[in-house]
Chain A
Amino acid sequence: MRYGTTIVDDIGNEHPRRNLSLALKGEIEKRQKAEPNKDVARIKSEFESLTKSANDYDKSLADVRREEKAFLAKAPERKIGFEKTVTDRDAKIRKWCFEAMESAARAEFYGQHIELSYDYELLARQHRMIAEQLPDIASVRRKTLNELEEVTAELERAKQEDQSQAKAEFQQYRQDRLDQRKEEKANLKKLYKEGQISSKAFENEKRQRDLAASEDIRAKKQLLPVEMLSDRKRYLKHRLRHDEKQAITVLHSDIADLRRKTPIEISKRFPWVSYLTISVPGLGQLMLGQSVKSIFFFIGTLYAYLIAIPYALGRGNYRGQGIFGLISLAKGGSRLDRSDIFMIEGVIAIILLVIAFLIFYQSFRDVHKNEKRMIKGIRINNWFETRTVAKRSGFPYFASAPSALVTLFIVLLPIAVTVLISFTNYDPKHQSKFSWIGLANYKQIFLGEGIAGKPFWLITGWTVIWTLFATSLAIFIGFVLALLVNQDRIYGKRFFRTIYLLPWAVPAFITIMFFSIMFSPDGPLTNLLHQLTGQIINIKDSPWGTRIVLILLQGWLGSSYVFLLCTGILQSIPKDLYEAANIDGATGFQQTRHITIPILLFQTAPLMIGQYTFNFNNFSIIYLFNGGGPFEPSKYGNTAGSSDLLISYIYKLTIQKQFQGIGAAITMIVSLVLIFITWIGFSRSKSFREEKL
């Protein structure tokens, strides 16, 4: 970066350089750029007079530095002088008074050298500000302290005195007020009984009268001398704390404003600190003078060097080897070393490293930005300013950090592991040790080969049929029921709504399991079917029987939700739409077709898409009803049954039969489809369309 002949403050205003030797360098630099071929020595000779004044400047700056040192050294001496003039007892006030006087002295000292450097100008103005504001702050405190003392004394006196009369008066008032309330309430009750006000208004009014009475009594109680004085004392104490805090904050932010307006001149041209300290977050901040901020980054450093990096190298792991576990997958390890644990710990190591890297990057960026700003002429934030910024714009990050951390490990970690496992030969033969095999699992699935891959397309076919039919059936039933119940002339709407809610309200696992019991051989429904048809139909043994019953059952279970949703929307359709349609001569049927159904469809569409994805992944109904059965080994092999969905197939592959590798690969394929559909659902939802998120 260049010196430049001017510097810029934080607001963007340009200032002339005051440091003449830097100004000289800037001029020479400028000339060199204009005439790149010219000899450096010759250019320098052209600025002879400026060079001379730069030398003079350096000398006088050095003089002032010495003076400054001597002046600052005398501060304790001055303080002894101040101590004689201050009569206050309060430690804080004394401290402020000394500070103000010292600042006044400093303001005067630096005021003489403003021309030399912006630093002196800042110091002069800053100290003047302190010298002006601190005495005010002190006097406010002095006044409040005095008042507080008085009030405390008065309160003591009041406590000594006999308060019985005041108390009796208050009790009298309280009784009167309560009586009055009673009377008011009686009146209200009369009005209500006579039917002049509604029950809601009656309740409302009653509540309000209660509030009014208690508020009046409380206020009256506050007028008791002891109460009043102690309340006043509490108030003064609050003022004491608050006023002071606020005034000091104002002082700090006024100084911050000064800092923003007063540029800084440094001889550095290259932001080397940021590069030098890249490996130790916090060090750079410390070197730039942001000491408190550096502490936070140092904590980050500790985390990186004591937790993240050792873990990644294999220290402190549960079983694995940190990040190397991902490569080795416990190959050649002892019997206890399991590939999956090595992989998982590898992923955890990566997550920890990524967090560490983010800390490093943030720290580097922070130091780098600040250095570059300083070279330009902008003063970097002091702790007060940093804290203000962090409070203002840091809140969302602090607020969501715990959630982000939990999500990272609870949600993302298992998914990352799933992705990785899909590229391995994790199967019953390779339970403890498996290795990377690239895309072989995916190939098997697409070609429908192998034990696990064979039934894939069959199951996919049934999954699609299931999803479409089961969801559509539920939506159809829910829709029709909602339309029927919400007709004008249907009585007992509440009754129907409550009944129709039941399949949703009863925990699904209970109903599914119970249906499963009822359809078992000799189960109630099997017997019923027997009586009806005269044949023994064992639903659970027939593939299509199971499938059809599953679809019907999901229709039964899912319709409640659709019904409730549609009911909610139907009730919110404005009545005037129908009135308008009536006037236009539309029949009831036409109204339903052209108004009700389009509105319903439009408003529920995103949720209905959610229903399809839900059923696509509806593991529990399949698993709990018939365990995916009945089995047809000739078609499906040993693992899957004829009613298995992809999701339950994955479950069986991974949890029961331990074909984790291929299970993961199927998961990935299924997920891509699911994510796509879910994304469509989201992008159709209102909030997404309106770009509000």
Chain B
Amino acid sequence: MIKQKKKGLYLSDRPPLTPLKTILLAISYILLFAYVFVILWPLAQIVLSSFNGSQSQYIRIGGTYQFSFKHFKFLFEEKPFLKWVINTIVIAVATALLTLLFVSFTGYAYSRYRFKGRKASLMAIMLIQTIPTFVGIAAFYTLHSIISAAIPGFSRQMFLVLIYAGGGIASNTFILKGYIDSISTELDDAARIDGCGNFQVYRLIIMPIVRPMLAIIALWSFIGPFLDYMLPSIILGDPEQYTLATGLYTLINDSRNMHQPAFAAGGLLTALPIVILFIALQKQLVSGLASGAVKG
């Protein structure tokens, strides 16, 4: 082991720098740091304003800065922020679980079995899903009324979960199917000889292997409700049922309730866990994204 690099010896694999390259490298660094500033400045504003006690209803730059938690306090005490958080988490967890339940079956079936309409059905649904359905959203109301007539206690939140999970079936099936396709079918055969039935092959062999992909699918379905503003704003009527996105929007959409710093504070609290999650899992998340379209 060489612990000390000997001076004067050129140890790098790379060719030495020419003056031109040095300039180019410097420009690269300048550009990179400039963009770092472009990204961090607005985000920093969110953080700063959320702690700025000297602002009341509107966010202003400049002026006096007074560190305080009063906007957070406002969120928790004056607004049902905690309720929004719980609503969102409940919906997100339910969505993730329901999605996994649907998709793990369909993904396995689509990958391992040849049956009629296999290719066409998935493709058709994925294409049809690109149609925006503002107009048809009235159908959701009616559908909800019919289902809740049949099943009492079927709340709007449950319906929202069903919409999230149902809407993701096609694309998630597509992603999971692609992943299972890459597992050799000889494994299935071996498991069958070792004594597994149809379902056991999936539960004991395939599922543990595809667990990373299932985790990614679950994660995406979990994050979805945190990011979506539109559907909850349409489906959920009662502010008590609001999710974070719809709830926070009430803080800035009309002048009566306007409280921009509180919005910043709430945004910060919402964004923080998600950002940490993204940074920790960036590799897996990106690979999940890419495999959906590139590998398929």
Contacts and interface: CB of A to CB of B under 8 A. Distances in A.
Interface of A: 195, 317-318, 340-341, 344-345, 347-348, 391, 393, 395-397, 399-400, 402-404, 406-407, 409-418, 421-422, 477, 480-481, 484-485, 487-490, 496-511, 513-518, 522-524, 527-528, 556, 561, 564-565, 567-569, 588, 603-604, 606-607, 610, 613, 617, 619-620, 624, 647, 650-651, 654-655, 660, 663-664, 667-668, 670-671, 674-675, 678-679, 681-682, 685-688, 692-693
Given A497-B282, A518-B42, A418 B293 contact: no
Contact of A678 (B118, B127, B260): B127
A295 to B, nearest CB: 23
A624 B228 CA distance: 12
Contacts of B289: 561, 565, 607
Among A341, A509, A564, the one with the most B-chain Cβ atoms within 10 Å of its Cβ is: A509
Given A410-B167, A509-B249, A518-B59, A687 B39 contact: no
B105 A506 contact: no
A344 B59 contact: no
A507 B118 CA distance: 35
B274 interface: yes
A515 B42 contact: yes
8 contacts: A403-B106, A414-B139, A568-B286, A568-B287, A569-B290, A607-B293, A660-B138, A693-B123
Interface in B255-278: 260, 263-264, 267, 270-271, 274-275, 277-278
Interface in B237-260: 245, 248-249, 252, 260
Contacts of A509: 227, 229, 245, 248-249
Contacts of B17: 489
Nearest to A681: B293
A606 B267 contact: no
B178 to A, nearest CB: 6
Contact of B126 (A484, A506, A668, A682): A682
B279 A498 contact: yes
B170 interface: yes
A476 B17 CA distance: 28
B145 interface: yes
B135 A663 contact: yes
B102 A606 contact: no
A484 B30 CA distance: 11
A565 B286 contact: yes
Interface in B120-157: 121-123, 125-140, 142-143, 145-146, 149
A687 B133 contact: no
Nearest to A552: B38
A418 B46 CA distance: 39
B66 interface: no
A242 B137 CA distance: 53
B177 to A, nearest CB: 8
Interface residues of B, number: 100
Interface stretch (B74-82, B109-117, B183-191, B203-211): B109-117
Interface stretch (B89-97, B158-166, B213-221): B158-166
A421 B110 CA distance: 34
B23 interface: no
B146 A318 contact: yes
B275 A524 contact: no
Contacts of B126: 678, 682
B28 interface: yes
A692 B103 CA distance: 19
B45 interface: yes
Given A318-B145, A410-B162, A412-B128, A620 B286 contact: no
B55 to A, nearest CB: 11
A239 to B, nearest CB: 13
Contacts of A399: 105-106, 108-109
Nearest to A647: B132
A17 B21 CA distance: 93
Interface string B164-182: 0111011001000110010
A563 to B, nearest CB: 10
B230 interface: yes
Contacts of B7: none
Contacts of B167: 410-411
Contact of B32 (A397, A406, A496, A518): A496
B166 to A, nearest CB: 3
Contact of A524 (B59, B108, B136): B59
A664 B136 CA distance: 8
B60 interface: yes
A685 B248 contact: no
Contact of B166 (A406, A647, A674): A406
B291 to A, nearest CB: 10
Contact of B113 (A396, A668, A670): A396
B198 interface: yes
A650 B267 contact: no
B135 A501 contact: no
B9 interface: no
A501 B279 contact: yes
Given A413-B143, A418-B136, A422-B135, 17 more contacts: A317-B146, A396-B110, A397-B115, A402-B105, A403-B106, A415-B128, A489-B25, A490-B28, A498-B282, A509-B245, A523-B58, A603-B294, A613-B130, A624-B229, A654-B135, A693-B122, A693-B296
